[in-house]
Chains A and B, each alone.
Chain A
Amino acid sequence: MKNYKMAWRNLWRNKRRTIITASSVFFAVFFALVMRSLQLGTYDSMYKNVIESYSGYIQVQDEEFWENKIVDNIFKNTEELQGKITEVSNVEDVIPRFESFALASSGPCSKGVLVMGIDPQKEKLLSDVEDRLVKYRLTDEAIRAIKSEDIPDYLARNMDLFEGNSYSSDGRLQIELGIKERDAETLMPLIEKYASIENGYFSMGDNAALVGDRLSRFLGLERGDTIILVGQAYHGYTAAGKYVIEGIVTIPNPDIDNKIVYLPVDVCQNLYYADGMLTSMVVHLRDNSDDAIDNTLEHLDSNLESPYRVLGWKEMNKTLVQQLDADNKSGIIMIGILYLVIAFGVFGTVLMMTAERRREFGVLIAIGMQKTKMAGVMVYEMFYIGLLGILAGAVVALPSIIYGYHHPIHFPSKFAKIWEEYGFEPVMAFQWIDKYFLSQSLVVAIIVLVAVIYPVVKIRKLREVNALKA
């Protein structure tokens, strides 16, 4: 009989043993996959958060600007330049930006702020500022009014926890306040009634500003108030202007939320005495995959010469990349520990199996079976078990990961705040099925193959006489 056939029959001769061994492999694969998916997905969502709300994947700037972000290091926004950028096939559009610093004042309070001139329509391709306009704000009064209605206890508790927070979407509010789906229908109208606030957007040329939520609270400004910006303009001129606040926006990253003021880009250029000039152009891509980004970067680099500089998102977010890199290393160590536990688990089961079957091996060899053939059968058996475990693990992990990908885990209310203070969105996301699926399965397969060495060696050293007595 062929080895593989014999191995297959052997497996089902003792189902329980097979299932126990296979399930140790199964758990190994399952946990490794879910854990890795969660790690990678969380990094990804952090990157996306920063990239899509702020830096974009690729920017074109004056070559001096990145090192020295002063308003003198800017460039003229010409048709020629735009043409050179858009002729690269992966480029869909260019989004103009004018970024600078200023002192913002509301009268009694002032604070250093980041002024960002944006194209109100084009910016929607990237960081949809209009979408971030605050819809609800949990002010002290709003909370009191909502509490006076008939509401479940958990909502009252959670509202206290998030007092003062603002939300730009119903979904975010429901998640953070933990509003259960069955309650949403009765509770949302209440929240809408007491906590919703009006906001508007701006278009090019409007003498209007959008202000970050935390900043607006610090300055004590609301929609319709005037914000004053003072700073240094191009070539040392004075930048000074008054703008009507048209809307309050909430940015997930608290660092940015604390200091951002948006102006229409032409108004911003006027403030800085730099008509037609930009600090950066965000290049909007059709394909955001890593390879496509690298390709486009190379292309743009060869298209644009000094005084322009092309920057990729990794270069622009060095701290974040390093931070997450370090975190990734510790994640890999965690997975390493998981593998170690798994390896010993698998090895333990194999060890027991070998000991259990010692007498069987002895009998088979005594009646004339070759040791090599027996070892071969053993290898096949382990191979089947491994395959079974890995396949089962992957098959079970798949739906969990797909579900997790569509329903990211939001941190429970208490932790969310801490996480936000670090500048991250309090979400644990799953990574879509990718290379890691293969690599994790492969590692487990290797563990199984290493474990098979033990029974093979054992069989080679087996002395029939002793084995028969076992």
Chain B
Amino acid sequence: MKKKLLAALLLTFSCLVIKAQDATEIIKRANDKINGEESSYSIMQMTIIRPEWDRTLEFKNWTKGTDYALTLITSPARDKGQSFLKRGTEMWSWNPTISRLIKLPPSMMSQGWMGSDYTNDDILKESSVVEDYIHEITGEDEIEGRLCYRIKMTAKEEAAVIWGHQVRWIDKDDYLFLKAELYDEDGYLVRTELGKNIRTMDGRLIPTMLEVIPEDEEGYKTVVEIEEIEFNIPVEDGFFSQQNLKRVR
């Protein structure tokens, strides 16, 4: 009797573990798909939309693994040449007008990048959707005609993330991030992200446009469009250095 009970218990337990792994696996696959397993290089355009004005930025982005990221602004003229570097847990910014390298304090991670609704954390990917959260499939929904997993991601206690939890919708067939809702520690919805314009780029089917809509600001929106992307390009660790931050074109 006891043995049977133990066996049953073990079985349910292992089921749970498998299920949890499933959710993590789904997130990992989706994340790798858009960011590249090894590395990536992309050219993007960001439009900041405000009730009274809007403006557009263009930038290049290099990433390698989860530790390295480098972003260079190429347009408009006034902001051109500014660059951002992430190495491990350290973040740096280079500004050619003042020829100074500035270390970004962790407290600035949740602030808008270049005045957008996109945070420094989003652009430099300091936190990881795979490693910093506990994932759980909570259901299925249809988004824009595609069947999606609904996955609830609760931030791990020790993780340095700015969200309390997230809910992400991931396409079942192609592992695409189609929608995300991001909540703060108190469980209030802070912003919604939508993945749109699903196209094939560098041999992968990905959403090429991301809309970021903050919850409490009427008429605020930021749209990031991928113009060009290459996955798993050869890039040295040395590329992500302070020296290169000043040189990169």
Contacts and interface: CB of A to CB of B under 8 A. Distances in A.
Interface stretch (B20-28, B96-104, B156-164, B201-209): B96-104
Contact of B98 (A232, A236, A237, A240): A240
A72 B112 CA distance: 15
The residue among B52, B76, B102, B112 with the most chain A CB atoms within 10 A of its own CB is B102
Given A105-B102, A230-B102, A238 B78 contact: yes
A373 interface: no
Interface in B121-165: none
Interface residues of B, number: 18
Contacts of A242: 97-98
A221 to B, nearest CB: 15
A105 B100 contact: yes
B100 A235 contact: no
A235 B48 CA distance: 9
B110 to A, nearest CB: 15
The residue among A228, A236, A273 with the most chain B CB atoms within 10 A of its own CB is A236
Interface string A220-257: 00000000101010011110111000000000000000
B82 interface: yes
B115 A235 contact: yes
Nearest to A242: B98
A246 to B, nearest CB: 18
A240 B112 CA distance: 17
A235 B112 CA distance: 12
Contacts of B116: 236
A295 B98 CA distance: 47
B53 A228 contact: no
A240 B53 contact: no
Contacts of B97: 240-242
Contacts of B55: 235-237
A228 B100 contact: yes
Contacts of B112: 236
Contacts of A235: 48, 50, 53, 55, 115
B198 interface: no
B79 interface: yes
A228 B98 contact: yes
Contacts of A230: 95, 98, 100, 102
A41 to B, nearest CB: 44
B89 to A, nearest CB: 19
A463 to B, nearest CB: 82
B48 A236 contact: yes
B15 interface: no
Contact of B78 (A228, A232, A237, A241): A237
**Nearest 7 A-B pairs (CB), nearest first?**
A236-B115, A240-B95, A240-B97, A240-B98, A242-B98, A228-B98, A238-B79
Interface of B: 48, 50, 52-53, 55, 76, 78-79, 82, 95, 97-98, 100, 102, 112, 114-116
30 contacts: A72-B50, A105-B100, A105-B102, A228-B98, A228-B100, A230-B100, A230-B102, A232-B115, A235-B48, A235-B50, A235-B53, A235-B55, A236-B48, A236-B55, A236-B114, A236-B115, A237-B55, A237-B76, A237-B79, A237-B114, A238-B78, A238-B79, A238-B82, A238-B114, A240-B95, A240-B97, A240-B98, A242-B97, A242-B98, A273-B78
Given A237-B76, A237-B115, 18 more contacts: A72-B52, A105-B100, A228-B98, A230-B95, A235-B48, A235-B50, A235-B53, A235-B115, A236-B112, A236-B115, A237-B78, A237-B114, A238-B78, A238-B79, A240-B97, A240-B98, A242-B97, A242-B98
